[in-house]
Copies of this chain bind each other. A is one copy, B any other.
Amino acid sequence: MKLNTLFNPRSIAIIGASNSPGKVGFTLTKNMIECGYSGEIYPINPGAEEIQGLKCYPSVLDVSSEIDLVVIAIPANRVLNVVEECGRKGVKALIIISAGFKEAGREGAILEKKLVEICHKYGMRLQGPNCLGIIDTITPINLSFARTMPKRGGIGFISQSGALGTAVLDWAIKEEIGISSFISLGNKADLDEVEFIEAMGEREEVKVILLYLESIERGQKFIEIAKKIVKKKPIIVLKGGVSTAGARAAGSHTGALVGSFIAYRTAFKKAGVIFAESVEELFNYASAFVEQPLPGNGGVAIVTNAGGPGILVTDLCEKLGVPLATLSKTTRQELASKLPSAASLGNPIDILGDAMADRYEFALEKTLQDDSVNSVIVLLTPQAMTESMGTAEKIVEIRKKRPNKPILTVFMGGYSVNEASTYLKDNKIPCYDFPEKAVKTISTMLEYSRILGLEEEQVERFTDVDKARVEIIFQNARIDKRNVLLPHEAAEAVEAYGINVPKIRVARTSEEAIKFADELGYPIVLKIVSPDILHKTDIGGVVLNLKSPEEVRISFEEIMSRVSQFMPHARIYGIMVYKMLPSGREMIVGMSRDVQFGPLLMFGLGGIYVNILKDVSFGLAPLTKYEVDKMVEDTKAYTLLKGIRGEPPSDIQALKETILRVSQFILDFPQILEMDINPIIVYQEGRGCIALDVKITLTLD
């Protein structure tokens, strides 16, 4: 179903409608009557004949006409009955305001389950329960507690917290920010953010979608839908509940480094959803997207009447990676021809403290004409000669003449710029009191331009993989009642997916070890194979750099004797024999499965530093080539891989291919709970990389 019934119902019934001020059903009815809704409103209340001037019905079944949408605000224990009636009546959609469901404990959860069953039975969709309703300023409808409707506008706002939603609406009313629709998600028993994003994506009046979310249950669906919608309009999210306190204890490096917050951020990045760090940012970004064109190529130009604030803006641009425009020679000459000689023609363009409205007009116009400029920040501080209001008027005029590049303004101060600031906002020019906000907003707009510019990329599949071989390895481990694979098993499994690993043999006797060593070539490494010994080095279970059969023999026996001495009860599967590898850059590639979003891949600097330096980046499978590029480039280790201090670059291509193969591997085998390749040794360009130590943990079932 398209959710049009919710945003634009032809008729509405209010169950629990009331004549007593203070009751929820009173406010809902009053708001609907007053909001200018043109469809039919049916108050439902068995105890009244008439409510707020409208004929009242005992039940929806007593209404003879069709009812599109029903809003319910009666105690939870009576909800199931009326919902059943709604179903029989053929109602299309419900909004349940009533609390007392899942959020209230076990009994409420059972009630909620029954509720959803009834809705499914009759094909009704449900918003809530335990929600604060819906507002749509286009239709219009106001099925919420908000006493005043916000101004009409291009923002669609979906909030998981009712209280936060109300507070933000209230703020939007004060700031005269235009809202098209507001949705309170409540318990998300049926409809969730994914469906509302999709619906708002289709509503033309919505120019930008804002989300306040505390949780996402259908992670992969969220990514799929959001990815599609962001190509049409920006989605900006503020995520509550990011504390790492809840981060899971995990057995792998990747698992230990991945908090749920990282999974969310990675998912938002994958979907092209913009991340806001505060409610204020959410709306600063939204206003700019609604009111301004997107910046194209080039950089930001800053026109200012004061040096100090100009420096602040320049600093912030550098900090946030916002490129400053280099003005063309022509622009500089034109500026020079009319501006006072003391003016600074670089960028920031300082038109001096005595700049009046005409000088701002001239500089802004010339700057907007320059092809290297993709956006302009106009900065004004109130000085003796400053004409705040006159300048604001000129900016609005120029905006009309030149609508194709964003203009943001920062009118610093309060008292003397108040009127001008309001005038600008009324005329759809974002105006901030401090420079930080303008720069952060431009930075976000650039980010969205980048997202729009991305080509849709298909995930490529490698065909040179041997799925059956991996299945057998996993089955054998299951038979052996092990969910952590032995190192040589794990190596064999990834090798079946085209990942380069050392040739590993497992010897049970020293004679066998020597035979393998002769076959593999010296120098040799021996390593004990046992599911019960975690820190193999500590008990002397690893010996490196053995150069002769004799050394292999001696070390083999020494390892066995140490192990039987220190860990007499450990299960011993033998000793791994492999040729010692030349050194290279040690990286880590890992995977941890996120409950909401599925397999989360990690890449970064490997070895013992991984947990301390945390130089890692993340991506959700399936990874595209572009995403792998980004993952690798987002680490500091990338600098190392590119080659520093005259060292040759590492084989980044081979590394990236390995990450892509891991992505396919863990998608093909959902029974892999987590895995680490640490280290994966990356050699010089053209010489590949090799997964030295592979750890795979399977799910427990």
Contact = CB atoms under 8 A, between A and B. Distances in A.
Interface of A: 24, 27, 104, 145, 147-148, 159-164, 166-175, 212, 214, 240-245, 277-280, 305-309, 311-312, 314-315, 318-319, 342, 353, 381-384, 412-418, 433-436, 535, 538, 605, 608-609, 611-615, 636-637, 639-640, 644-646
B279 A434 contact: yes
Contacts of A535: 645-646
A611 B642 CA distance: 14
Given A413-B170, A613-B615, A308 B164 contact: yes
Contacts of A166: 381-383, 413
Contact of A312 (B24, B240, B307, B319): B240
A418 B171 CA distance: 9
Given A170-B413, A414-B173, A433-B171, A646 B538 contact: yes
B384 A214 contact: no
Contacts of A163: 305-309, 353, 381, 383
20 contacts: A159-B308, A160-B308, A161-B307, A162-B306, A163-B306, A163-B309, A164-B308, A164-B312, A166-B413, A167-B381, A170-B382, A170-B413, A171-B433, A241-B315, A242-B319, A243-B318, A245-B318, A278-B435, A535-B645, A611-B644
Interface centre among A145, A159, A169, A309 (most CB of B within 10 A): A309
Contact of A382 (B167, B309, B353): B167
A160 to B, nearest CB: 7
Contacts of A244: 318
* Copies of this protein in the complex: 2
A242 to B, nearest CB: 5
A52 B382 CA distance: 25
B171 A414 contact: yes
Interface centre among A172, A245, A318, A384 (most CB of B within 10 A): A384
B243 A172 contact: no
A95 to B, nearest CB: 16
Given A240-B308, A646-B538, A174 B414 contact: yes
A308 B186 CA distance: 11
Contacts of A383: 145, 162-163, 166
Given A280-B434, A415-B171, A538-B646, A240 B311 contact: yes
A170 B612 contact: no
A164 B161 CA distance: 39
A164 B306 contact: yes
A314 B243 contact: yes
Contacts of A173: 414-415
B242 A414 contact: no
B212 A308 contact: yes
A170 B414 contact: yes
B415 A148 contact: yes
